[in-house]
Structure 1
Amino acid sequence: MNHPENSQLGKASAYIDQYDASLLFPIARAGKRAEIGIAAAAPFFGADIWTAFELSWLNLRGKPQVALGHFTVPCETPNIIESKSFKLYLNSFNNTQFADVDAVKTRLRADLSEAVWRDTALATSARGPALASIGVRILLPELFDREPVYELDGLSLDRLDVECSRYTPAPDLLKVLPDEAPVSEVLVSNLLKSNCLVTGQPDWGSVQISYTGAPIDQEGLLQYLVSFRNHNEFHEQCVERIFMDLWTRCKPLKLAVYARYTRRGGLDINPFRTSYPQALPPNTRAARQ
């Protein structure tokens, strides 16, 4: 079982520029999920949506190729991939020759699938369910101008002039307005900030909360989101904590939480969790990304 403190986070790292799948460092989701009350099946679906802005390799004539990579890791997988290890792994492609972009895509899917299913029975076969679980899309330069920039849709919580004094997660700030009729609404904030679990470096994000149910007190919700400001946790874990706090305290009929974090090391991570089956949001970056 890998632990975050044993990863390359916060350590001087040699940059390997020849392909090396062993650089990937998976971390089990179960430990952090237990902290937020998930002992068995999680009450949500979703995925971790990654973008790699620094993807490169050599063709068979030794000429460098560049691309953008989009990766989708279902949240049902038992492991996350620690982001610095992902960066080091992608850098190992830099001086490695591949026949074509399909060969790169196949190698990425196989390695990432093995990592997120490692130490489970499904990891034993490269042709099994693990391989099919990871989405990989590679965009070559001729498609770069089709990559739009969009902000998250919804009513901005940041318009509220609230006093903020708590900077570690405070779920007691969450409450509903029980005497009002149920609503369906989408709320957004650009004020989400947390810190890396290991290094303490800041992680900046925007968050979108979609729900149906008793109206959630918006001032309390904004104060709650701000309360993550000094909290140390990985992106995926923060979004699951937000989901579970809303799910257990506000008891919506439907709930979806989506965060887009700014990139670090050429990678951004954008977790999406929903209480009901629906299509994943498109991987369109925000201006800060």
Structure 2
Amino acid sequence: MSFLNDTPLGRTSAFIDQYTPSLLCPVPRWDARESLDLDTAAEGEPRLPFHGQDIWNAYELSWLNERGKPVVAMAELVVPCISPNIIESKSLKLYLNSFANTRFASREAVIKAIAGDLAQVAGAPVDVRVMSMEEAARAAVWDDHGDSVDHLDVAFEHFEYRPDLLFTEQGPERNGALVSHLLRSHCPVTNQPDWGTVQVRYTGAEISPASFLRYVVSLRNHQGFHEQIIEQMFVDLKRQCAPRHLSVYGRFTRRGGLDINPFRSDYEDLPRNLRTIRQ
């Protein structure tokens, strides 16, 4: 991933507080998906076994109104997983900070600017919602909507990536949902830990809760961007457990005023953007 040498990730960066779209840096999705060993479409790109979106929550957004008064807000950014690029997270932080001392006529003008800039870098339309503090405070919070595996009293021997730990139980097909707050991985550039919650919903043979927990813990020292980790989990669960339907939803804790929440599914629409207790 030599292209990451051109991004600000892991580097000291100057603080720019005048609106500067050029701060945004793309990261190609296809390069990161090589490790998934996906089937290849006719045009030579991976054939995705899922659809989905990446939900970004931005907690540090401010600009000046026409009279020079600061406005603070939160933003929700939804990037489709079919976009050619993801947006490098530190560049997005720097870009949003560049709004701080720039005057905008309205919230709608801010939304238009962000949506246009992000779409150009991602290579696909990006949905943008900007909320006042009062609107954000009224938002509902996360409910696990699944069986937590974190209470299981099992022994652990593997702290390196082991997809073969996953297996199913014998029995009839079922609709299941598993949740774990023990997900941890590492940024492939800075090697800093990323912490998250993962929810798996499926139709098929029962996925062994203990095997799922051991698998989640095996990612503890694995390197990958948030989007890569969730896509890897989707592919591993499909290959090892063969569910007829599958969704994998990651809710990662914030870094630099941003959290990233990838959702991948072969049957469900985008879930609600509900913050967990750690977000």
TM-score, scaled to structure 1: 0.91
Matched pairs, number: 273
TM-fit CA distance, 1:2 = 7.3
Which one-letter code corresponds to 1:154 in the other structure?
G
Structure 1 vs Structure 2 CA RMSD:
1.3
TM-fit CA distance, 1:144 = 2.9
TM-fit CA distance, 1:268 = 0.3
CA contact (8 A) 1:17 1:92 kept: yes
Asked if 1:114 corresponds to 2:120, the answer is yes
Which one-letter code corresponds to 2:161 in the other structure?
P
| CA shift in 2, pair 1:6/1:163, >3 Å | farther
CA contact (8 A) 1:2 1:27 kept: no
Output the CA distance in 2 between the equivalents of 1:142 and 1:170.
Answer: 44
Asked if 1:51 corresponds to 2:57, the answer is yes
Output the CA distance in 1 between the equivalents of 2:86 and 2:160.
Answer: 23
Output the CA distance in 2 between the equivalents of 1:284 and 1:221.
Answer: 23
Stretch of structure 1 that moved more, 141-150 or 20-29: 141-150
Output the CA distance in 2 between the equivalents of 1:43 and 1:88.
Answer: 33
CA contact (8 A) 1:151 1:287 kept: no
Post-superposition CA distance 1:239-274 (Å, at most 9, x none): 000000001111110000001000010000000000
Output the CA distance in 2 between the equivalents of 1:164 and 1:102.
Answer: 51
Tell me the residue number matched to 1:199: 190
Report SS of the residue matched to 2:233.
helix
Output the CA distance in 2 between the equivalents of 1:175 and 1:65.
Answer: 51
Tell me the residue number matched to 2:43: none
Tell me the residue number matched to 1:183: 174
Asked if 1:91 corresponds to 2:97, the answer is yes
Tell me the residue number matched to 2:107: 101
Among 56, 65, 70, which residue is 2:71 paired with?
Answer: 65
TM-fit CA distance, 1:151 = 3.5
Note the 1:1-289 alignment, pairs <5 A.
3-38=3-38, 39=40, 40-117=46-123, 130=124, 133-177=125-169, 179-276=170-267, 278-289=268-279
Report SS of the residue matched to 2:150.
helix
| CA shift in 2, pair 1:2/1:25, >3 Å | farther
Stretch of structure 1 that moved more, 5-14 or 42-51: 5-14
TM-fit CA distance, 1:222 = 0.6
Report SS of the residue matched to 1:137.
strand
TM-fit CA distance, 1:3 = 1.9
Stretch of structure 1 that moved more, 164-173 or 104-113: 164-173
Report SS of the residue matched to 1:3.
helix
Which one-letter code corresponds to 2:235 in the other structure?
M
CA contact (8 A) 1:243 1:273 kept: yes
Which one-letter code corresponds to 1:280 in the other structure?
L
Output the CA distance in 2 between the equivalents of 1:16 and 1:245.
Answer: 41
Post-superposition CA distance 1:146-173 (Å, at most 9, x none): 1232242210011211112222210010
TM-fit CA distance, 1:145 = 2.3
TM-fit CA distance, 1:101 = 0.5
Post-superposition CA distance 1:53-96 (Å, at most 9, x none): 00100111111001110010010111111111110000010111
Identity %: 50
Which one-letter code corresponds to 1:194 in the other structure?
S
